[in-house]
A = this chain, B = another copy of it.
């Protein structure tokens, strides 16, 4: 039996081995992905991103616990860690906090190093999510450290993206993080028992108002709620990210966050955005595979010696890169 068939049958060891193959992008894993693909498309992909220090791993832990215990869902967590070898220790520390979930076969946690290019990382993550989806996991949480392009790639992958902030991380972080507001479906202010929580919320609210100038973001029940409140969001096609307070270490605000996620899923379904996001995600994947196949074919067709000779001419400034490309491309049938 192949790993993919065994994975479909619920074999956990086969799943583990297949994930390793997928991460290493082996030829066998590519065949497995083809076999598994018809079984995908059922899972809800939730992206969770935020700076170190926002307590995002603990929040993911709480979300997984809730979905597991209250809703009996099967949960997979893909934790994407920064590429530096120096931060390995801290990441292992985070994983220790996942102990509440260990020993439960309905929960699968997979850490992934961000080896190689960020593009490669997005591909591996997308492929792993497909494996979990085919294997029958209902909810796949993809946890990333907020570090630029990777959030955008995660947002493209997930149906629902949570951006986690925390009070007291400084205005500098808020400034650099402004760009990721654009990818947030739900804003979480974790560690809400810390001083400065009002300022953090206020800053997020101001940024939301800049991003959605025609919509009024109003305060409700002690948290800032958007016009995308439960009673109206199913009629609306515009979703304004709500701001949810949580204290993940105490499990506070988790129920409300789970409700916000459910509202977002309802919104995606009613507005037709779920289907649009699925299509966009698959198109991004298709385009990446096309690009890869084109480059591989080019490499197979243009001899290394010819490529090296052209590069040498470029370094000598006797031909420009643009002219070199024309030369190399015209040389192909």
Contacts and interface: CB of A to CB of B under 8 A. Distances in A.
Interface in A16-45: 30, 33-34, 37-38, 40-41
A8 B84 CA distance: 42
Contacts of A293: 325-326, 329
Contacts of A261: none
A145 B147 CA distance: 12
Interface of A: 30, 33-34, 37-38, 40-41, 51-53, 82-87, 90, 118, 145-150, 169-173, 175-176, 178-179, 181-182, 207, 210-211, 275, 278-279, 282-283, 285-286, 289-291, 293-295, 297-298, 310-311, 314-315, 317-318, 320-326, 328-329, 333
Contact of A149 (B148, B175, B178): B148
A33 B322 contact: yes
9 contacts: A37-B317, A52-B176, A53-B170, A83-B179, A118-B149, A149-B149, A170-B170, A286-B310, A289-B324
Nearest to A281: B315
A290 B297 CA distance: 12
Contacts of A322: 30, 33-34, 37, 289
A286 B329 CA distance: 12
B172 A37 contact: no
Q: Main SS of the interface on chain A?
A: helix
Tell which of A33, A90, A148, A333 has the most Cβ of chain B within 10 Å.
Answer: A148
A169 to B, nearest CB: 6
Copies of this chain in the oligomer: 2
A169 B170 CA distance: 8
B325 A145 contact: no
Contacts of A38: 317-318, 320
A295 B287 CA distance: 9
B294 A34 contact: no
A84 B311 contact: no
Nearest to A38: B317
A176 to B, nearest CB: 6
Given A38-B318, A148-B149, 5 more contacts: A33-B320, A86-B178, A282-B314, A289-B325, A294-B295
Nearest to A296: B329
A147 B172 contact: no
Nearest to A295: B291
A172 B169 contact: yes
